[in-house]
Amino acid sequence: MSGQKYSGFLPGRHLIEGYGSYGFRFGGMSHRGSILALPSGIYAWDVTGPEELSAVALGQVFTEPRGAIDHLLIGTGVELRPLAKDLREALHAAGIRGEPMATGAAARTYSILLGENRRVAAALIAVA
């Protein structure tokens, strides 16, 4: 990862410029570890594996204004992993469609949808 060091929060919406080596590049910065890319900004996220996915782990998502997120792309690591029923229900109750996919696919799809000005967010587990 190259660029400025990321301090844990970057306000605003930013394309994911790269991923791998257990981190991400966005906004001219790099971050080692998982991230939440939300309408309010990009946050460091302490989740390291898909077994940790829960409504509690995604708590920051639920603090965004209702209607700000239509789709939450959830990068579950190297492989696609289904979401637990209680997490799907919590997202549905908040008016958010949770879409699990491998992290690489989620990062690429997020940037495309963001470029189309869609109401999209991403929860991305870092991969090698």
What CATH number did the domain enclosing 112 receive?
3.40.1230.10
pTM: 0.94
Give pLDDT, residue 106.
Answer: 98
% pLDDT > 90, the chain = 94
Cα distances (Å, whole numbers) of residue 120 to 22, 100, 106: 23, 13, 11
Q: How many domains does the chain have?
A: 1
Q: Quick one: pLDDT at residue 8?
A: 87
What are the tens digits of pLDDT across the range 30-87?
A: 999 999 999 999 999 999 999 999 999 999 999 999 999 999 999 999 999 999 999 9
Nearest-angstrom CA–CA distance, 69 and 87: 16
